[in-house]
Amino acid sequence: MKRCREDIYQYLNFENGQIAIYDAVNPLASGRRSLAKEFAKQDIETLFIESWCDDERIIEENVRRVKISSPDYVGWSSEDAVKHYLTRISARIPQFQTMEEKDLNYIKMINAGERLIINNKSFGYLSNRIVFYLLNLHIKSRHTYFARAGVSLEADSYKADASLSEQGEDYAKKMTERLLQHRESEKQAMIDRGETNYELKPLTVWTSTRRRTVETAKYLHEKGYKVRQRSQMSQLNPGVCEKMSERRIREEYPEEVAKHELDPYHHRYPRAESYHDLAVRLEPIILELEREQNDLLIIAHESVLRVLYGYLMACNAADIPFLEFPRDEIIEIIPESYQNEARRIHIPNLPKEIIPGSPQDIKIPVPPSGVPSPMVGGIGSPKDGFSTPQSGLRTPREPERISQQHVDDVV
């Protein structure tokens, strides 16, 4: 435990860390006070979060969905694993003291968000944001789908809010047909497994306010699906680099190019946005995404999908600018107990020229991250042994073609 605290001190004091999660039971009031005093010696504010649940239905459902899939229960039958874990919970109860210390900061979440009790001794900005975040969480499972917007009539322009081209219309129709076909096949698979009364959750669609995303959702809207337009989901602003070739950007902004190649997540070209700026802009979307209980399809530009995917799949910040979402694939993200799972759904019969991700023809090596990103090599879930770098800095391993976002990411 001492080494764990030393790691936290190192991270917060010397690695620009803002929040560290000290994951432990901390069942006794005396132990919690002692822990808070230890952190206070390093000028670290402590916020305790307690999850209190006395609803037997929620407890058993959580054990079945989450706990028995842990490494502790490999090879166990589900019934034996559930029984054993419930016994472990009962064994800990006599030594547990619920949070009531008036001198400590704490949040007590009751029955998975049914109620929150807050003791605000010295909350700062981050503590209040954590409260707001927890208020938006739920434990109900739902699927999230990502799809690119169709090709527009002026695909190389950020400022022009152009309608879909003929190829874009064809893509929108085929994407809709493939997604609905996939959902029906998932429903049939559940019925074949014996869940005869299984029904799909309602599907909600989010787009930006740009015409190309709204029109990509047209066929779903015509079929009666609810479509919501979200202004925060507009693509990353390329600033002065709009419609500029890579060669011209290198000639006119050599210093900016050097900064971008060192830190493509945080760097912004003149009058442009960085990916960090975009992530901040998308914070309300992320909170509402957590609150959403229906299945959700997000139709957006690739820059937006990169940030949202990076959040859901715990990608390194440095990798987010390099995630690829080709148009012939819908990405399906399924919540799992210890890591989300991501799958590709292929959209057949699309013309080759509209499939590549934007940036087109750019091949950039991406270092390993907490998740195999949606790149040519495949898509997967977080792996053990990786962490997220704090700064987002990424040293190129070879000269890169610049501006994933600023040359081509207006489509």
Distance of CA 309 to the CA centre of its chain: 5
Sign of the C-alpha dihedral computed for residues 161, 162, 167 and 172 taken in this order: positive
> Do the Cβ atoms of 317 and 310 come closer than 8 Å?
yes
Strands (E) in 209-280, as ranges, are 226-229
* Tokens found for residue 77: 């039958």
Amino acid at 96: F
Q: Write out the two tokens for 242.
A: 């709009």
Question: Which residues carry out catalysis?
Answer: 23
| H/E element, 397 | none
Q: What is the C-alpha separation between 239 and 231, in angstroms, rounded?
A: 18
C-alpha dihedral, 356 to 358 to 363 to 365, nearest 10°: -120
Cα(96)–Cα(53) distance, integer angstroms: 13
Beta-strand ranges (E) seen in 210-272 are 226-229
Report the C-alpha gap between 139 and 290 in whole angstroms: 10
Q: Are 35 and 106 a contacting pair, CB within 8 Å?
A: no
Q: Which residues contact 160 (CB under 8 A, 6 or more apart)?
A: 152, 154
Cβ proximity of 210 and 372 under 8 Å: no
Check: CB of residue 234 under 8 Å from CB of residue 379: no
> CA nearest 318: which of 253, 252, 386?
386
Coil/strand/helix, residue 109: strand
Q: Which two tokens stand for residue 303?
A: 């820059």
Largest CA distance in the chain: 70
> What is the bridge-based pairing of β-strands 203-207 and 226-229?
parallel
